[in-house]
Amino acid sequence: MQQITLRRPDDWHLHLRDGAMLNAVAPETARHFGRAIIMPNLIPPVVTRDDAAAYKGRIMAALPEGSDFQPLMTLYLTEDTDPADVKRAKEEGLISAVKLYPAGATTNSASGVTNFDKVRPVLETMAEIGLPLCVHGEVVDADIDIFDREAVFIDRILDPLRTSVPELRVIMEHITTKQGVDYARSGGDNLGATITTHHLVINRNAILVGGIKPHYYCLPVAKREEHRLALRAAATSGDPSFFLGTDSAPHIDPLKESACGCAGCFTATNTMSILAEVFEQEGALDKLEGFASLHGPAFYGLEPNEAEMVLTKGEPVTYPDKIATPDGDVTVFDPMMPLHWRVG
């Protein structure tokens, strides 16, 4: 029997939603993870300090009894965000980051940023107080091919933004390309990047070959195989610039299996088993702890979790195909390979 022990992992990019969905999915993450950066793209979004305080209360109420899971809250950056409100929320210890969505880039991003000059005062305040910016790095221009959105964002938006506010700490969220890997790797101490579980497993064939597979559709959309291989190399390299952000994003099945299906893969349930399989395939099980448990806290200026997680290799792991919610089922991400590492 093979076992590995790591510090309890954290998820540096998570969608918990609200209401009945929140109650159904929060335990899936709290079972394995110590902390998670909670995405603010609710309807309406979590924009102010008061919104974040109220949402945090709802998350705490949704956790199983006795859970010590800690939600790390974020604010959704809009062109009207007040720097003083952001500063207050950070000083209270309520928020850990601010999230930048280019308007229209993804699920519930309509209130995001179009004119980057308008958010400069907030970004400057964040640089001063050491509050990181989580960036959804895709342009939304109609003339840019969806598979090129990330690479073009780096050149047109991210690099100029970082040059104009160099002290700002930035996390490139859910990178999906070789260009994203290269840029994050060469970006110095103020730049990090999260990588999802599913982008280490699928390329764009998973969505399109043999019929449309809506449960593999997410944003940024999975790219060619060469990009998946670059992500695997980055995640398993031991480079502290790269850490886990699952982007686990539940939608009920009718909203995925539709003529206009929602973007998102729900991986909270089986992420750690999938990651152990991937890291083993890459001959890098010794790098899993860095990626899932150490690099993220270091970037955010936090200590790693005290508690440990044991992963044991054995017979293929079973996990539910779907998580039931009162609004409908949520399909759990199918990695299309047997998983041999169980938590515990």
Contact 329, 18 (CB under 8 A): no
SS3 28: helix
Judged by CB under 5 A, the number of residues near Zn ion is: 1
Q: Rounded distance, CA 278 to CA 81, Å?
A: 40
Under the binding rule (CB under 5 A), the answer on residue 10 touching Zn ion is no
Cβ-based nearer residue to Zn ion, 266 or 341: 266
Which listed option, Zn ion, ligand DOR, none, makes contact with residue 263 (CB within 5 to 8 Å by class)? ligand DOR
Cβ-based nearer residue to ligand DOR, 217 or 341: 217
Which one is catalytic: 145, 247, 286, 321? 247
Torsion (CA) 58, 22, 103, 218 in degrees, nearest 10: 160
What residues make contact with ligand DOR under the rule CB under 6 A?
Answer: 15, 41, 106-107, 136, 218-219, 247, 249, 262-264
E strands present in 150-197: 170-172, 191-195
Site for Zn ion in 223-252 (CB under 5 A): 247
Q: Packing angle between helix 225-235 and helix 178-185, nearest 10 degrees?
A: 30
Under the binding rule (CB under 5 A), the answer on residue 150 touching Zn ion is no
Cβ-based nearer residue to ligand DOR, 135 or 276: 135
Cα torsion 291, 40, 158, 139: sign: positive
11 is catalytic: no
Q: Rounded distance, CA 95 to CA 130, Å?
A: 12
Which listed option, ligand DOR, Zn ion, none, makes contact with residue 264 (CB within 5 to 8 Å by class)? ligand DOR
Q: Rounded distance, CA 160 to CA 175, Å?
A: 18
Q: Give me the residue whose beta carbon is nearest to Zn ion.
A: 247
Which listed option, ligand DOR, Zn ion, none, makes contact with residue 218 (CB within 5 to 8 Å by class)? ligand DOR
Cβ-based nearer residue to Zn ion, 11 or 247: 247
Which DSSP helix (H) or strand (E) runs through 187?
Answer: none
Residues identified as active-site: 247
Footprint on this chain of Zn ion (rule: CB under 5 A): 247
